[in-house]
Structure 1
Amino acid sequence: MAKELRITETEIPGLLIIDLPVHGDNRGWFKENWQREKMVAAGLPDFGPVQNNISFNASAGTTRGIHAEPWDKFVSVATGKIFGAWVDLREGESFGATVTVELGPDTAVFVPRGVGNSFQTLEDNTAYTYVVNDHWSADAQGEYSFLNLADETVAIEWPIDLAEAELSEKDKNHPRLAEVTPVKPAPLLIVGANGQLGRELVRQLTEAGTPFVATTRNELDLAHPESWLSSFRWRSYRAIINAAAYTAVDNAETAEGRANAWAANASGVAALASVAREANILLVHVSTDYVFDGTLSVGQEYAVDATVAPLSVYGQSKAAGEVAAAVAQRHYIVRTSWVIGDGKNFVETMKSLAERGIDPKVVADQHGRPTFTQDLAAAIIHLLETEADYGMYHVSNTGDVITWAELAKSVFELRGHDSARVGEVTTDEYFANAENFAPRPENSALDLSKIKDAGFTPRDHAQALKEYLQ
């Protein structure tokens, strides 16, 4: 009787042993060597294989390895038997951990990126097969890491002594463990690294020692996919974080601005989602409260599944970008509001006006919560590190829902100025003489329950403002 499909963890994080049902009869046997739906349901990562390789080994004692490759692989045996050995060559506490297993047709092993893979055939005419989630290329060989099969530290007990085994000259000369440079995690790719959010992501990821590649418009102009689609080896990245956008809300109401907004916020996002889907990598896309019309009564908050109804061209282009981003199988769409970070922003403007003795008129009929990039970046990193459920999230700071005028008054007070200097006006009054004016939602309050349920609670915006201004 065939054993049931079962997945077992090992002492190497992410290295999984899979029991495969093999159905035999008088003719031989049959097995589902790779079956995505059943295996993912059983606990195998949905790693998206794109290439299948077979290694035929004519004689027992053929030994290959130890190779750590820049992709995940699912190894098994079509016929014969092997002694498999895996060594964790990734950076971290498990570096050097070793697992050995005998594999016949009824066993497979999932090998995560950066774990060294090796095997020795125990029978003649053994066919070893594996699927990987990237296409082999000569360029990718520069990302391999190797360990000597005879390394004394990991001390693998090969069933057939290596002196009597069949090895390649290359495999005989790989370095010992003490000479191996640990494999770093796959980097994140930040799009829009020079914006308010992008700069904060760079700061926090650098502080945490997390590998990343930061791109600005010079390297990746979201509005012109033809200039970058073939410029990156997409599968080498752990995830793409899109922190770029066309954000000139009022200028988007012009003919030129409309085209630019749609190019960056919709078409460019569609191109990113397409490569993320093809490469089976995670896409993080940042969106906006402007996808809502703001007609929800003040005191109520927009849920993550609320119907979008954007008022402006900017909001429409961002709503289209959300639909495009969701094409990626694995995605986080993070809506936010009233962003404040390093660079030109509302708080810096109010601070400057206060110190220059200028008394501003500020809108008092738009309601929401500010989002400091420190919290927004931390929320995105939290989603990535905890591997939270994919989908839509709302992120702003916590605290009372306020108006722009109330936020301005708080800035004045915290900088030691009289908040009465801040006058209140309606949105219509503020934009009465504007040549191009994009309608704004009156209520931008976002329901934060989903991000809190995922284990992240942003700071109260009042406290965040104090810390920002210190």
Structure 2
Amino acid sequence: HGLHGFEYHDIDTFDFSDPAAYGQFDWDLYGTIINAGAFTAVDKAETPEGRTAAWKANASGPALLAEVAREHHITLVHVSSDYVFDGTVEEHTEDEPFAPLGVYGQSKAAGDIAVAQAPRHYILRSSWVIGDGHNFVKTMMGLSDRVADPQQALDHVTVVDDQYGRLTFTKDMAAAIFHLLGSQAPYGTYDLTGEGAVRSWKDIAAEVFDLTNGNGDAVMPVSTEQYFESAKGPVAPRPVHSALSLGKIEATGFTPVDWQESLKAYVKAELAVRGGSVEGR
């Protein structure tokens, strides 16, 4: 984004859940903090060790950031999640009351409450995030390749079809963050996902398969209950409906990208890196 004076930190250089780590910075030199740090392993968050880690990263850390932002008049940007809701309504607005189902959602809701105490704050709620690292789309592309390979003993995969939402691409999230900062939009909470149709995980997986190898018919539906019935560890409850209302951020002049267009571009770029082709797909 051509920023000057921008510093990036991960947990190895700044553990933002550790109060002692804050002394390494002269906070009066900073105007904005963007917090994309979180513990997102929702099932592991249901274990004793995972519960502690989730609350440190998702609640304690944001609370400390909010405190330093308030004291030094810093703008705090914080990425949140649809998991702060119970998923009983088909589309969630920014002012829907919190009703998290599991530890991950509970810790994220606590973080939202803490961040909101900073006078200059933007909370951006996302769902089904896809970025450069390990993610659902890359996993489905790999499985599509296995189904397409006659030497692999895999003719289909099962993906849950009773959870509904839209993808959020990190590139689009970054664009929204810098739009809010650059336009000096009113502080507060904004939903931000891709625009477009609400689909199930199974529908999205089939689209990825089609874009990768034209074999979307190899994706079979399964219920969430059936998918996890053989799980050996704890399973976090998932919201049925994860779609977020985009009207508020659109009113600031930001137009979210259709997630299906972002998905096509993402898969095309991944195939190009692998030396593949998307012609005819």
SS in 2 for 1:397: coil
Aligned: 1:342 with 2:132? yes
Contact 1:364/1:425 (CA < 8 Å) preserved in 2? yes
The aligned residue for residue 460 of structure 1 is: 258
Runs of 4+ in 1 over 3 A off after TM superposition: none
CA distance in 2, matches of 1:407, 1:428: 19
Aligned: 1:379 with 2:176? yes
Equivalent residue letter for 1:219 = T
Change in CA separation of 1:210 and 1:375 when aligned onto 2, cut-off 3 Å: farther
Q: 1:301 aligns with which of 91, 99, 115?
A: 91
Q: 1:425 aligns with which of 209, 214, 222?
A: 222
Contact 1:223/1:260 (CA < 8 Å) preserved in 2? no
Equivalent residue letter for 2:17 = A
Greater share of helix: 2
CA offsets, 1:289-334, max 9 Å, x none? 00000111xxx31111011100010000000000000111100011
Structure ranking higher on relative contact order (CA contacts 8 Å, 6+ apart): 2
- Tell me how far 1:385 sits from its aligned partner: 0.6
CA distance in 1, matches of 2:266, 2:172: 12
Equivalent residue letter for 1:217 = I
CA distance in 1, matches of 2:127, 2:159: 17
The aligned residue for residue 451 of structure 1 is: 249
Aligned: 1:316 with 2:110? no
CA distance in 2, matches of 1:303, 1:422: 31
Q: 1:408 aligns with which of 205, 209, 212?
A: 205
- Tell me how far 1:225 sits from its aligned partner: 2.8
The aligned residue for residue 28 of structure 1 is: none
The aligned residue for residue 220 of structure 1 is: 14
SS in 2 for 1:230: helix
CA offsets, 1:149-181, max 9 Å, x none? xxxxxxxxxxxxxxxxxxxxxxxxxxxxxxxxx
Normalized against structure 1, the TM-score is what? 0.55
- Tell me how far 1:412 sits from its aligned partner: 0.4
CA distance in 1, matches of 2:128, 2:26: 34
Gaps of 5+ in 1: 1-204
CA distance in 2, matches of 1:401, 1:271: 35
Change in CA separation of 1:451 and 1:210 when aligned onto 2, cut-off 3 Å: farther
CA distance in 2, matches of 1:276, 1:220: 16
The aligned residue for residue 272 of structure 2 is: none
Aligned pairs for 1:356-367 within 5 A: 356-357=146-147, 358=154, 359-367=156-164
Q: 2:195 aligns with which of 385, 394, 398?
A: 398
CA offsets, 1:330-387, max 9 Å, x none? 0001100000010100000000111122432101000000001111110001001111
Equivalent residue letter for 1:327 = Q
The aligned residue for residue 185 of structure 2 is: 388
- Tell me how far 1:246 sits from its aligned partner: 0.6
CA distance in 1, matches of 2:64, 2:194: 30
CA distance in 2, matches of 1:282, 1:238: 6
CA distance in 2, matches of 1:210, 1:447: 33
CA offsets, 1:54-107, max 9 Å, x none? xxxxxxxxxxxxxxxxxxxxxxxxxxxxxxxxxxxxxxxxxxxxxxxxxxxxxx
Gaps of 5+ in 2: 148-153, 269-281
CA distance in 1, matches of 2:29, 2:246: 33
SS in 1 for 2:22: coil
CA offsets, 1:378-422, max 9 Å, x none? 000100111100000000000000000000000000112311111
Q: Which has the larger radius of gyration?
A: 1
SS in 1 for 2:104: helix
Equivalent residue letter for 1:319 = A
- Tell me how far 1:209 sits from its aligned partner: 3.9
The aligned residue for residue 370 of structure 1 is: 167
Greater share of strand: 1
CA distance in 2, matches of 1:211, 1:429: 50
The alignment yields a C-alpha RMSD, in angstroms, of 1.0
The aligned residue for residue 439 of structure 1 is: 237
CA distance in 2, matches of 1:210, 1:367: 40
SS in 1 for 2:23: coil
- Tell me how far 1:280 sits from its aligned partner: 0.7
The aligned residue for residue 27 of structure 1 is: none
SS in 1 for 2:7: strand
CA offsets, 1:197-218, max 9 Å, x none? xxxxxxxx2xx34431001111
Identical-residue share of aligned pairs (%): 52
Equivalent residue letter for 1:465 = L
The aligned residue for residue 120 of structure 2 is: 330
